[in-house]
Amino acid sequence: MKVGVPKETLPGEHRVALVPDVLPKLKAAGIDVLVERGAGAAASYPDAMYEEAGATLVSGDEVWSLSDCVAKVQKPTVAEVGRLRAGQALVGLLSPLIDPGLMATLAEHGVTAISLDAIPRTLSRAQTMDVLSSQANIGGYKAVLVAAEAFGRYFPLLTTAAGTAKPANVLILGIGVAGLQAIGTARRLGAVVKAYDVRPETKEQAESLGAQFVTLSTAIDATGSGGYARELTAEERAAQQAELNGVIATMDVVITTAQVPGRKPPVLVTADAVRAMKPGSVILDMAASALGGNCELSRVGETIMTGNGVRILAPENLPATVPISASQFYARNLQALLLHLVKDGELTLDLEEEITAGVLITHGGKVVQPATAKLLEPAPAAGGTAA
Ligand code: NAD
């Protein structure tokens, strides 16, 4: 079986789907890797390293036409979809629940689409394939570095001949994979860290990394399914907001990571809360997307300076800014998935098996993953109109 690795085309996407390190194991499983010349360059993996590891270097056209499976990081562009043919497989971070229309198009093209963001994360045997975790971990780390760079003071407590610098007060909102890494990184830089989440089990996790958990007087347990949070009710949101605003006002740096699967991210830092912050404070909204973010004022891809001197950052793709590590971990996750799906050098899809059933979005001309198929069902006809 031939797996092809094209150069990523999204601006700023410096990651590459496979790195040279993982090629020997794939080769042993009957997988030959074709790499578009220059595909790993932005992640500091030059063509020569791929060649040494046993890859065949090919042109941009050949990587699409000669591969049985195309391995990407980002979902394909319209032009890339046009290069795929029936019976070919495509694997990447396809976001099927955010872009079900693209999945319908891939199904029409007869493409077998496999999405790495649909790995069942609660299965321990799928942990090595968990791209969302590996990339969120890198995002959480980089978020702290970016926020520290935007902050005009030291993070640690420093006593020097010229005086003493107070440590920065950092608040992490959302204690999932990214939030935990952000706590650890901010602590390693010497900040005093507070953290908050609506899943009570995160209290112990945050404390074990040296953060103080913010406990609100109105206890909220919004544990949802699969380890994720559920959306809060309007009353819970109001109670949470009133108290969080008080905490946010005392912070120097706020890093937000809160997500609710399939929904718009919750607003945790309102415009009023931003207005109450000190000049020089920094907010970094990791959840920001075109749908909105955790901060009411953030705009994805932009840095805003508010009238009261607060910087609001909303970087778009933090893992891509750590491309060597992010590609290495992405490639390890993809290697584990390919070794799981390929038997005797052939893609072997057992739809009864949990991991395969989770990641397989389109196959045989149909959208087969139930959650995505449901989103594509025609909306029920509008009710009767008044005569
Ligand atoms: P995520 O990106 O969906 O959300 C980040 C955090 O935001 C979560 O901790 C969530 O509880 C929190 N959040 C949501 N709404 C909030 C609100 N209104 N206020 C404050 N916080 C809010 O989460 P994630 O990082 O992908 O992790 C989700 C879960 O999946 C975690 O429990 C993680 O441990 C679990 N996980 C399990 C496995 C496994 O079992 N193998 C692997 C990876 C992740």
Q: What is the DSSP string of 3-60?
A: EEEPPP-STT----S--GGGHHHHHHTT-EEEEETTTTGGGT--HHHHHHTTPEEE-H
**Tokens 């963001």 belong to residue:** 117
Name the residue of 125, 197, 204, 263 whose CB sits within 8 Å of the most ligand 1 atoms, as the mutation to test its pocket: 197
Q: Quick one: pLDDT band at residue 49, thresholds 50, 70, 90?
A: very high
Catalytic machinery residues: 121, 127, 130, 133, 228
301 burial level (CB within 10 Å; 0-12, 13-18, 19+): middle
Which residue CA neighbors atom 24 of ligand 1 most closely? Answer: 176
Give which of 303, 302, 294 is closest to 273, Cα–Cα. Answer: 294
Q: Which atom of ligand 1 has the smallest separation from the CA of 258?
A: 7
When the pLDDT of each residue in the chain is averaged and rounded to a whole number, the result is 95
Partnered with residue 311 across adjacent β-strands are 282, 305
Average pLDDT in the 102-128 region?
A: 96
Q: How far apart are CA 51 and CA 35, in angstroms?
A: 9
Residue 52 alpha carbon to ligand 1 centre in Å: 40
pTM to 2 decimal places:
0.94
Question: Taking CB atoms and a 6 Å cutoff, what residues make up the pocket around ligand 1?
Answer: 121-122, 124, 127, 130, 132-133, 136, 173-179, 196-199, 202, 227-229, 232, 257-261, 266, 268
3, 26 contact by CB (below 8 A): yes
Report the length, in residues, of the chain. Answer: 387
What number does the ligand 1 atom closest to the CA of 132 have? 26
Residue 273, classified by CB atoms within 10 Å of its CB into exposed (0-12), middle (13-18) or buried (19+), is buried
pLDDT tens figures, 21-42: 999 999 999 999 999 999 999 9
pLDDT band with cut points at 50, 70 and 90 for residue 383: low
**Whether pLDDT at 79 is above 70:** yes
